[in-house]
Amino acid sequence: MEYHTQILIVMLVYISLLMLWGVFQGRKVKTDADFAIAGRSLPGWVAALSERATGESSWALLGLPGAAYAMGLTEIWTAVGCVVGIVTAWALLAWRLRDAADKYNATTFTGFLAKSHPEKAKWIRMVSSASIVFFFFFYVGAQFLGGGKTLHTMFGMDARTGMLITAAVIIPYTIYGGFRSVVYTDVVQAIVMIVALVAGPLVGLIYLSHHPEIYAQTIGKALQQAGPSFTSLTGAASGFSAGVVIVGGFSWFFGYLGGQPQLSTRFMAIRDARQAKYARNVGIAWTLVAYIGALSIGWIGLAIFGPEGSAGGLADREFVMPAVMLRIFHPVFAAVLITGAIAAMISTADSLLILSATEFSENILKPLLKKGEGSSVKHDLLISRVITALLAVVALVLAWFTGKGTFIFTLVSYVWAGIGGTFSVVILFTLFWKKYHGKAVVVTIIYGILFTIIWINTGMEQIISSRIMTFVSTFFVAIFATFIFKKQ
């Protein structure tokens, strides 16, 4: 009882302080631009830490370690794809998106696309926003699901009850402070996350060498004992199948090329070009350290508990991070680091909520509502907050009814294909190809979203990942549409 009480006290203190910090930052929100993009005035280091915390979410502390625990060395390709994609985004795209957003005075991701292609601005706003809101219901649901799993591991509570608690933490300050509150709470969470991803592997390796009773005393021995598929970079596959494994893992790369709106808005919100350089350096350094740590935690979990489904193995692969922390650290310190997992979910869920609400209210709802004489800045801000609350409830309901037996890795993967693969093509062509025009943008988005849904639901996902197929096929469709349809 004392063990759980210590952990609970640490978490309550952390979460309470986090919520107060979010509310404090929210007091500075006065306009829709503040609510949507913090007035495009973020310091570089703040934007970088916020972007990384948002980009990794429960993925880096639950999903990726869980995949490494269950698959062994094969998951290196996933990490390589992600890291190369993140480095490319910060090095080549971040400053360009910042400059373009400043040029067009864009406050939303979809607003940037619409202003870049004004001849079809209305259709771009509607189609883009609808696509983002639809897919992000699943993404937000994945974060609620991650919160439920973590609390289940720590306290044995029902995972659905854990989802409700996670939602109760996230929703209030997100509704109140919008993008500004979200970004500055992300900074705190990014620091906690990186501490967890550094301290966990270091102490874990020491723990392995001093406990002969566990499954294996080294990561190498654990991989060997788990079977040949764990020591192979291709999961023991060969020939064409090996190529599919490698490409499937690396395919995460394509979703980082500007196609994730919750990340691109961080680029757009950076104060100036000088701050963009600082942000690039911080973002890349954080990423390299974090991904090495995430993989290591999964493999350390394999050494401690044995493979998934074995006598001492974990029942759910995505419990591995909190399970490892509870095993190797004192309960109080473990609680602080496990809070990193909660922090990861919070940092993405609040970002996705605010982005979805902003896209829906600015690009779908408000254009349909004729502003009366009583319309004001406060009225528009109220609409944004109400929409945020409603979307949060819908995402929670979705997670509640579909979460059982669902892996966070899978949910995030689908969003990475549908949104990441599609909008990466749109962003790249918008920034680098002057012939690309509004009609082609609309065709590209509609095709990419439909292709992803059809590909996954017809079982083709089992043959080759939609993360690469969506990007590649949408890339060529964008080219054809640019030449087939004439620019107005």
Condensed to tens digits (0 to 9), the pLDDT of residues 9-25 reads 877 787 788 778 777 77
Helices within 306-376 (DSSP H only): 320-328, 331-360, 366-368
Structure confidence by residue, pLDDT tens digits, 428-475: 999 999 999 999 999 999 999 999 989 988 888 888 888 889 999 999
Q: What is residue 377's predicted lDDT score, i.e. its pLDDT?
A: 57
Compute the Cα dihedral for 132, 138, 141, 142 and give only its sign.
negative
Q: What is residue 7's predicted lDDT score, i.e. its pLDDT?
A: 72
Q: In Å, what is the CA distance from 91 to each residue of 46, 50, 259, 371?
A: 17, 17, 15, 42
Q: What is residue 340's predicted lDDT score, i.e. its pLDDT?
A: 66
Block means of pLDDT (10 residues each) for the chain, 488 residues, are 68 78 70 63 89 80 89 92 93 92 86 92 89 79 74 76 79 69 82 90 93 89 90 79 83 88 88 90 94 95 87 82 90 79 68 76 69 55 73 76 59 79 94 94 94 87 86 95 86
Q: What is residue 2's predicted lDDT score, i.e. its pLDDT?
A: 58
Q: What is residue 374's predicted lDDT score, i.e. its pLDDT?
A: 46
For residues 359 and 108, is the Cβ–Cβ distance under 8 A?
A: yes
For residues 24 and 178, is the Cβ–Cβ distance under 8 A?
A: no
Q: What is residue 1's predicted lDDT score, i.e. its pLDDT?
A: 45
For residues 360 and 125, is the Cβ–Cβ distance under 8 A?
A: no
Q: What is residue 372's predicted lDDT score, i.e. its pLDDT?
A: 46
User: What is the pTM (predicted TM-score) of this model?
Assistant: 0.82
Q: What is residue 32's predicted lDDT score, i.e. its pLDDT?
A: 60
Quick one: DSSP state of residue 118? G
User: Closest Cα to residue 128, out of 352, 355, 446, 482?
Assistant: 446
Q: What is residue 183's predicted lDDT score, i.e. its pLDDT?
A: 83
Q: What is residue 287's predicted lDDT score, i.e. its pLDDT?
A: 94
For residues 83 and 288, is the Cβ–Cβ distance under 8 A?
A: yes
Tokens of residue 430, six digits? 């918008």
Domains and CATH numbers, the chain: 2-366+384-484 (1.20.1730.10)
For residues 249 and 81, is the Cβ–Cβ distance under 8 A?
A: yes
Q: Which residues pair with 22 in a beta bridge?
A: none
